[in-house]
Amino acid sequence: MCGRFTLSSSEDQLRDLFQLFEIPSPQKKFNIAPTDDVLIVIGEEKRKMLSATWGLIPSWSKDKTIQSATINARSESVFEKPAFKTSFKERRCLIPASGFFEWKKNGPLKQPYLYGLREDTLFAFAGIYAHWTSAEGEKILSCSILTTSANDFISPLHDRMPVILEPKDYDTWLKAPYDQNTLLDLCGPYGSQKMTSYPVNPRMNNVSFESPLALERVEVQGDLF
């Protein structure tokens, strides 16, 4: 799964990778937690970046409490789950990130590790989004991150990982006519050899710790594996 991630890339990096003219402000957030606002890229006609709440609220939901259970959507079943299937068919997005966190038990504590790509400081999760309006008229744009089975690099800590898309597949994910097999082919585990990881400041375990220090490398005893 993906329960926490970070976006520390620059505005220019966002513009260049996603081919954007305008982006919302602010862009950077170092310790993104469920129900936080995140950036998404959609491409209905041309690409644009919007702010959305992390935790998808289906249009038919009576309230937004469902969000805590919809931050992730399993790619293997996203096309059949009531909360996700319409968004997977009609409203796919890219969710920019520069890394995501997983945890290892270290005695009584949980040591966080930051995972990212070796060659790039910015990438995109495969996402889906939805529009929701409450009975009182409140309008919310929300999203979920798709997950897949973990690659060998991540599996020592978790059996799932977020779906990371290659830039060459962005248009297919955003704009291609719905074809279940084509889309699911993009949802496999990302290559282990392309990824890197290091232990970070345990202060980021607190969701309120929003600081560049959340990404600070620390020394821990023992090997990750």
| Domains of the chain with bracketed CATH | 5-215 (3.90.1680.10)
Choice between 209 and 1, residue whose per-residue pLDDT is larger: 209
What radius of gyration, in Å, describes the C-alpha atoms of the chain?
17
Catalytic residue among 11, 80, 102, 210: 102
Rounded mean pLDDT of the chain?
Answer: 93
What are the φ/ψ torsions at residue 217 (nearest 5 degrees)?
-70, 135
Q: Is 65 helix (H, G, I), strand (E, B) or coil?
A: helix
Can you tell me the distance from the alpha carbon of 111 to that of 106, in angstroms, rounded to the nearest whole number? 6
What integer is the mean pLDDT of 108-114? Answer: 91
Residue 21's pLDDT band (cuts 50, 70, 90): confident
Query: 71 and 82 in contact (C-beta within 8 Å)?
Result: no
Q: How far apart are the first and last CA of the chain?
A: 19
Sequence-distant (≥ 6) Cβ neighbours of residue 199 within 8 angstroms: 111, 112, 113, 114, 217, 218, 219, 220, 224
What is the pLDDT, as a whole number, of residue 71? Answer: 98
What is the pLDDT, as a whole number, of residue 74? Answer: 98
For 57, counting Cβ atoms within 10 Å of its Cβ (0-12 exposed, 13-18 middle, 19+ buried), the class is buried
Nearest to 224 by CA among 188, 193, 194, 200: 200
What integer is the mean pLDDT of 79-103? Answer: 97
Assess whether 2 carries a catalytic annotation: yes
Sequence-distant (≥ 6) Cβ neighbours of residue 117 within 8 angstroms: 123, 164, 194, 195, 196
Tens digits of per-residue pLDDT, 181-193?
999 999 999 999 9
What is the pLDDT, as a whole number, of residue 106? Answer: 74
Q: What percent of the chain has pLDDT over 90?
A: 84
Can you tell me the distance from the alpha carbon of 41 to that of 50, in angstroms, rounded to the nearest whole number? 6
Residue 158's pLDDT band (cuts 50, 70, 90): very high
Sequence-distant (≥ 6) Cβ neighbours of residue 224 within 8 angstroms: 104, 113, 156, 157, 197, 199
Q: Hey, what long-range contacts does 18-22 have (CB within 8 A, 24 or more apart)? A: 18/47, 18/49, 18/94, 18/96, 18/124, 18/170, 19/47, 20/47, 20/48, 20/49, 22/48, 22/49
What is the pLDDT, as a whole number, of residue 225? Answer: 42
Catalytic residue among 2, 93, 143, 187: 2
Residue 204 pLDDT greater than 50, yes or no: yes
Residue 152's pLDDT band (cuts 50, 70, 90): very high
Q: 């969710």: which residue's tokens?
A: 95
Assess whether 102 carries a catalytic annotation: yes
What is the pLDDT, as a whole number, of residue 176? Answer: 84
What is the pLDDT, as a whole number, of residue 44? Answer: 73
